């Protein structure tokens, strides 16, 4: 539902309060290896992981998968009820600014969540409590002012992000609905900061389950709002009913954020936190709060710069019929597996990276990054290959019903292919940004985001205006910028951690992964056609599109198996890591089955 785009180091920035306090501030790059000590405990999926960590990862996996399933169900319901028509398009336009606060500022893995989690992990329990209470009050006040400004200038905000709605008669209704929706969703801005603060404090206590489940709550509320709309207007598509549908969906978005905040307040108050009282003196004199905001504001500015890229995409998309809603549906499907991977693999490692930085364990940090990057690249390349090849049947299976017709399927499937191209580098970029945050540096990601915005705007113009690629050009521009941003961040981080990247070896591994993708793609396509021809002939399997689901599932499995064969033949490095991950995944599945039954 929330369409957002997220976000190197010339030495250690002396202005950063955390780096000023560390002994390694002036450590030369050449001394990384000589002064570092090996910490084997950082293996992300080693067989020596204790049962407590495994149980925590198991719960995170279950919670994240449940949240993603509900998120997919939410989008399926929205697509079935509103298709890619005025209500869906207006919702995506009006959600740009609230989504920045919901998903980036206030969301899991957002700048506040990450910086709060890393900051609290370095403080005592009493200082944590004081910091959370003061930060909660400060963020509420800031959110209140920003929310009021958004409500007052809603018309201008929609115009700036989607001027194309003013350029055509058919965009008139979409414009009116978008302005109304933006005003209704201003509470999202008010509660976004406190919600992110709660996520960060829970993660610092190694409780990732509530943050992983929270998006599911918002999805449930939106689904209920769609059910209410259908019950009130079963078949009408008049202007008044479209406006009613827009109001119901936007109200549900605001209610979902409020409920997340309410649950967090109840959880924190059970542990002794008090949010009903605050003192200006305590807020102004809290040094930890000042240091937190010194990290948070550059991180938010980084995300804010990235959000400008979303504005540029929607700016051009507003001139292209049905492009806004189509891009949103395609992005959801492309990002769903990546979100699971980020939550189950990368997010639990964030406090560990912070501890390794604090103890100057550079060799251990480099080893952990090597393993995580390789694992993510293998998994995402394999998944993205299947999604590219099976894009059209996947869109047909999930979305094509009622208001979502075959022309919408053709549009969204082509956009899904364009998104999948940059998917592997999206994961790497997010991982590297988190490492920079753990290092206490938001300056380098900020610079990269600024350059990426300019490049994204230029490519949007080039691909759509000059080359006439339409909505597909906007997504290709996003994927291109994602790839370049990830490579730049990796290069700059390797200058700080010597030996992180070996150019020749990296090119060889990337070529091997691309070869595996090509082979896997052909196998997946052939397997799907054969399975679809065979299974669709069975009358029983035609019910509920079961034959389509089985064809996609088994063809993807064949493709994933084929993807791994060249890796084994050419002895892909750290295959023991992949096997270890498979063993861990098997344990997690057994754990999940036990707790479900």
Q: How many other C-beta atoms can be found within 10 angstroms of the C-beta atom of residue 525?
A: 16
* Token representation of residue 106: 């206030």
Q: How many other C-beta atoms can be found within 10 angstroms of the C-beta atom of residue 582?
A: 12
**What DSSP string describes 49-73?**
--HHHHHHHHHHHHHHHHHHHHHHH
**Rounded Cα–Cα distance for residues 533 and 508 (Å):** 38
8 Å CB contact between 192 and 143: yes
Our measurement of the distance from residue 84's CA atom to the centroid of its chain's CA atoms, rounded to an integer in Å, reads 23
Which residue stretches of 83-124 are H helix? 86-94, 96-99, 111-120
Predicted local distance difference test score (pLDDT) of residue 356: 80
Predicted local distance difference test score (pLDDT) of residue 595: 44
- Angle ∠(367,373,377) on CA atoms, nearest 5: 150
Predicted local distance difference test score (pLDDT) of residue 247: 94
* 490 CB-contact burial (10 Å; exposed 0-12 / middle 13-18 / buried 19+): buried
**Rounded Cα–Cα distance for residues 455 and 343 (Å):** 29
**Phi, psi (deg, nearest 5) at residue 404:** -95, 105
8 Å CB contact between 312 and 464: no
Helices (H) and strands (E) in the chain, counts: 24, 0
The conformational region for residue 571 under phi > 0 = left, psi -120 to 50 = alpha, else beta, is: left
Predicted local distance difference test score (pLDDT) of residue 459: 95
Closest CA to 17 of 341, 288, 335: 288
DSSP state of 403: T
**Rounded Cα–Cα distance for residues 304 and 105 (Å):** 9
Closest CA to 572 of 512, 517, 521: 512
**Phi, psi (deg, nearest 5) at residue 571:** 55, 60
**Phi, psi (deg, nearest 5) at residue 542:** -75, -20
**Rounded Cα–Cα distance for residues 551 and 554 (Å):** 6
Cβ contacts of 316 within 8 Å, gap of 6 or more? 164, 460, 461, 464, 465, 474
8 Å CB contact between 37 and 361: yes
8 Å CB contact between 194 and 139: yes
- Tens place of pLDDT per residue across the chain (597 aa): 444 433 332 332 333 333 333 333 333 333 333 333 334 333 444 444 445 555 655 666 677 677 778 888 988 999 989 888 888 889 988 988 888 787 767 666 677 877 787 777 777 778 877 888 888 888 888 899 999 999 999 999 898 888 888 877 767 888 999 999 999 999 999 998 888 887 777 777 666 666 667 778 888 999 999 999 988 876 666 788 888 899 999 999 999 989 888 888 887 777 666 665 566 667 777 787 888 887 787 777 766 665 677 778 888 988 888 888 889 889 888 888 887 777 667 666 767 777 787 777 778 888 888 878 888 888 899 999 999 999 999 999 989 988 888 999 999 999 999 999 888 898 888 888 888 877 877 788 878 888 888 899 999 999 998 999 999 999 999 999 999 999 999 988 888 887 777 778 888 888 888 999 999 999 999 999 999 888 887 766 667 688 889 999 999 999 988 998 888 777 665 555 555 545 544 554 454 444 444
**Rounded Cα–Cα distance for residues 536 and 134 (Å):** 61
Within 13 A of 174's CA, how many CA atoms are on the CB side? 30
**pTM > 0.85: yes or no:** no
Q: Which residues pair with 401 in a beta bridge?
A: 404
């Amino acid at each position: 539902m929330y369409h957002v785009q997220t976000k190197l180091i010339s030495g250690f920035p002396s202005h950063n309060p955390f780096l000023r306090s560390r002994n390694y501030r002036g450590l030369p790059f050449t001394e990384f290896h000589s002064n570092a000590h090996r910490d084997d405990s950082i293996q992300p999926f080693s067989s020596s992981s204790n049962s407590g960590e495994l149980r925590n990862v198991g719960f995170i996996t279950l919670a994240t998968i449940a949240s993603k399933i509900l998120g997919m169900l939410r989008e399926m319901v929205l697509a079935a009820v509103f298709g890619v028509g005025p209500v869906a398009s207006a919702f995506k336009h009006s959600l740009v600014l609230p989504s920045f606060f919901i998903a980036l500022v206030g969301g899991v893995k957002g700048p506040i969540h990450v910086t709060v989690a890393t900051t609290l992990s370095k403080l005592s329990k009493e200082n944590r409590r004081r910091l959370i209470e003061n930060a909660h009050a400060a963020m509420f006040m800031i959110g209140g002012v920003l929310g009021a400004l958004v409500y007052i200038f809603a018309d201008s905000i929609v115009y700036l992000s989607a001027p194309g709605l003013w350029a055509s008669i058919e965009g008139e209704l979409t414009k009116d609905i978008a302005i109304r929706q933006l005003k209704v969703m201003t509470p999202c801005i008010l509660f976004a900061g406190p919600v992110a603060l709660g996520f960060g404090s829970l993660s610092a206590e190694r409780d990732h389950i509530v943050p992983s489940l929270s998006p599911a709550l918002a999805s449930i509320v939106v689904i209920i709002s769609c059910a209410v709309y259908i019950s009130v207007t079963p078949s009408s598509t008049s202007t008044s009913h479209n406006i009613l549908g827009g109001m119901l969906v936007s109200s549900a978005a605001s209610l979902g954020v409020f409920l997340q905040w309410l649950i967090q307040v109840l959880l924190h108050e059970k542990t002794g936190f008090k949010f009903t009282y605050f003192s200006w003196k305590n807020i102004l004199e809290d040094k930890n709060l000042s240091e937190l905001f010194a990290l948070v504001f550059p991180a938010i500015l980084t995300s804010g710069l990235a959000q400008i890229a979303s504005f540029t995409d929607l700016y051009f998309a507003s001139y292209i019929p049905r492009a806004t809603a189509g891009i949103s549906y395609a992005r959801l499907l492309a990002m769903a597996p990546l979100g699971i991977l980020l939550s189950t693999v990368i997010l639990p490692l964030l406090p560990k990276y912070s501890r390794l930085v604090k103890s100057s364990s550079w060799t251990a940090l480099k080893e952990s990054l090597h393993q995580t990057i390789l694992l993510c690249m293998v998994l995402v390349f394999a998944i993205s290959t299947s999604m590219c090849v099976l894009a059209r049947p996947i869109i047909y299976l999930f979305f094509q019903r009622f208001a979502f017709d075959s022309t919408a399927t053709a549009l969204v499937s082509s956009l899904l292919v364009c998104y999948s191209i940059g998917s592997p580098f999206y994961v790497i970029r997010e991982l590297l940004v988190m490492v920079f945050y753990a290092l206490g540096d938001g300056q380098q990601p900020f610079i990269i985001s600024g350059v990426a915005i300019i490049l994204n705007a230029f490519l949007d113009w080039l691909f759509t205006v000059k080359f006439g690629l339409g909505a597909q050009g906007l997504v290709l521009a996003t994927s291109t910028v994602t790839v370049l941003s990830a490579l730049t961040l990796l290069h700059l981080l390797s200058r700080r951690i010597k030996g992180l990247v070996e150019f020749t070896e990296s090119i060889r591994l990337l070529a091997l992964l691309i070869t595996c993708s090509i082979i896997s793609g052909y196998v997946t396509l052939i397997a799907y056609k054969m399975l679809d021809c065979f299974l669709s002939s069975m009358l029983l399997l035609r019910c509920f599109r079961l034959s389509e689901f089985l064809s996609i599932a088994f063809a993807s499995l064949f493709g994933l198996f084929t993807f791994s064969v060249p890796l084994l033949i050419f002895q892909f490095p750290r295959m023991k890591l992949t096997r270890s991950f498979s063993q861990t995944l098997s344990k997690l599945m057994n754990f999940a089955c036990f707790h479900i039954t």
